[in-house]
Each structure stands twice: as structure tokens, then as C-alpha cells.
Amino acid sequence: MKVLVVAPTPFFSDRGTHIRILEEALALEKRGIEVTIATYHIGQDLPRSLDSHIDVRRIRRLLFWYKKLEAGPDWQKIILDLMLVRKTFHLARTWKPDIIHGHLHEGVLIGFIVKQALFWRNIRLVADFHGSLTKEMVSHSYLHATLMQRFFGMIEHRIDGLGDRTVASSWDNVERINMIPREQKAHILLDGTRLSMFENLPSVIILRDTFHIPKEKIVITYTGALIANKGITLLLEAIPLVCAQSSEVHFVIAGFPVDQIAVYLKRDIFKKHVTIISPLPYFTLPKVLHMSDIGVDPKESNTRQASGKMLQYMGAGLPVVCFDTENNRKYLDDGGIYADDTTPESLARAIMTLVASRELREAKGAINRKRAGLFSWEASAEQLEKLYREII
């Protein structure tokens, strides 16, 4: 079976969307499926250590000045996506895939256009949604006017129904998509974790020395994009509250772009109690989590995105502090400490609950490590292959 993956993004970059695209593709490859990924002109090549034969095909570098790797809308992506339509059409015509697997709303729309243009080939389309298009644009402050939100909401509603099969990464996004009357309901396709990534790592002492982290502190870690819709501002405002209550803590903030949080980092309390690791390569992530004591995910639920970072925390056996949302509860169950309100004060109180008790940290971490086994990329790939074969 041949699967053409449409990734309208600078693949590969060290963030959640790209991790989902990569890990799904790797797990499908292990099941004997040939995978080609069509993507933008920028992004990292896959490391040889993956021992993968996935073919990453890029559009031409006509927009050579476009180098944005972080998440978020940009009007220039319209041009990039038009070029990606051309690349996807060429690959679909010459490589002759059985399935086009479109990621994100743009990827699904591109896949649908190519599928219709080559209608006699009977190519099937799988739509893979990572969140709500409109909600994410609002969260990035890219949409303000109610009229424009309604317009893009109509577009999103239309794209939601284009796939022969539809999957989404979060339960509440599946529920939203299934409000559309349709013959085939959307399926949940959860993010996963590779537990093997957390094996045979150096000791905590060695890792803390490598990253210049105080060896005796309780290390509280956030990994991921340093942008507003990931909840990073709530965490940054909670850090001084936690430090005021405990001298035992040290925070690690790992991700990019750092310029988004530069105003906070100028303050003395951040210089003293926070270590920045930027960028954070995905394949270095297990080391950072292994040396940590607590994982924090301050993302709210309004973008309808899942939380890949939470699964990585679980794979590393960390207790997790987050907000009390349906998605977080289904991932963590008893392994989480849940902040009651989406405020810095509530987040700080939840963090302090774990700081105050080593026994509680160890107990919650053990629960999460065990539950991580329920969320594997292998299980997601098995589910995808079943969907592929149904529509073929």
C-alpha cells in the first residue's frame, strides 16, 4: 500500500504537529506501508538514526525568504499551499498512491483538490485534524472580527466533511466534527509515545550537569512552543508565585521561539530560577524529561488540540500539572494534578501540591508511566491501516 502524506508545514520542526506527522509515518512504515511526505521547502531532514525509507518531497524554494518554523497563521502560507497543491498533484500522478493522508485543514483541502483532479484514479482521502482551524487562528490573535470568524468557521465546517475517513487527535474535536450530518463519523486517533525513547539514558546527575541544572532542586519542566495559545503566559506568571513559596524549585522551559517570552526573562527571578533550553530537538526531549521531577502543560481547551507533550511526560514517568479538561482527564486519569481555574494562581497551587510531597510525585509518576503504554504510535498506525483498507 502507498500513502501520500500532505504536510502543509515546514516539516520537520521540533513541535507537536510535526511529531504526530513523523511518528504516524514511522509506525505505518513498520507495518509495511510505503510513505511519501509532501511538505514545504524548509524544515529538517530526517536523521539517519531513524533507519527510515520515508521519502520527504519539498516544494521549490521560490519563497526563499520564508523561514518561519513556529506554529501560527501567515498570509504567505497561501502561496506555499498553492505550490504544495502542485507538488501533491505531481506525486499523486507519478507515484500513484492508494491513499492521500492530509494533515491539518490545509492538507485535507489540498488532498481533496488533487483527488478530484485525478478522479479516475479513485484515490482515497483520509483527513487528519490536529485542532480547530478557526479556534487556533483566534488563539494566535489572527482573527478578531466576528464576521471573519464566521466566514472561516464556514470554511472549516466544509473541510471537515471532505475526507473518505476522518480522524482527529482530541476527543472534543471529534465531538465537534461529528455535529456535521455525515455517513461516516470521525474517529479519535490519539497521539502516542515511544517508550523506547526513555530507555538507556544517562543518570539524572549527569544530565543535570550537562544542562547546567541545580542537582539538588525539584525540577519543574515545560516543553513545547513558547507561544500564547499553548498557555505559556499562564505558566510564566505562575513561576514567581511558586518561587515565593518554595526555595527548592527550579524551572526548565524548553522550546522556541524564545523572543516570545523575552520580556519575562529579563526579570531577576527568572534569571535565578529558570533555565531556558532553546531550541529543544525532539530527539533530545527524553533526556530533558528524564532529569525532571514534574511536567507542566498549561494549555487550555479552547483550540481543541490534543497534548502530545503530556504523553511524553507520561512516557518519562513524570507527574503532570495541567488544567481540568476532558482531554487531560482521559489521558492522565489519576496521574494528574488538576488546576481548578485557568489562572496563574490556580496553576501555582497545583504545582505546589507536588512540590510539597515527594511520595505524591512518585505515585503519580508511576501511574503515568503505566498509562503511557495505552497510548502508542503502533496502536494508532494499526487503526489507520484498518481505515485505509476499509476505503480501498
The per-residue pLDDT for range 174-198, each reduced to its tens digit, is: 988 898 777 789 999 989 998 999 9
User: Where do the structural domains in the chain lie, given as residue ranges?
Assistant: 2-192+376-391, 195-372
Closest CA to 107 of 74, 138, 133: 133
The per-residue pLDDT for range 94-135, each reduced to its tens digit, is: 999 999 999 999 999 999 999 999 999 999 999 999 877 667
CATH number belonging to the domain at 195-372, selected among 3.10.580.10, 3.40.50.2000, 3.50.50.60, 3.30.70.1050: 3.40.50.2000
Q: Is 107 left (phi over 0), alpha (psi -120 to 50) or beta?
A: alpha
Mean pLDDT value across residues 241-262: 95
* Beta strand extents in the chain (DSSP E only): 2-6, 34-39, 55-58, 99-103, 124-129, 165-168, 187-188, 218-223, 249-254, 274-277, 294-297, 320-323, 336-339
> Does 2-192+376-391 match 195-372 in CATH topology?
yes
Helix (H, G, I), strand (E, B) or coil at 64: coil
**Could you say which architecture CATH assigns to the domain 2-192+376-391?**
3-Layer(aba) Sandwich (3.40)
227 pLDDT tier (thresholds 50, 70, 90): confident
138 pLDDT tier (thresholds 50, 70, 90): low
- The reported pTM is 0.87
Helix-, strand-, coil-residue percentages of the chain, each rounded to 5? 50, 15, 35
**What does the pLDDT read at residue 132?**
79
Rounded-to-integer distance, Cα 337 and Cα 334, Å = 8
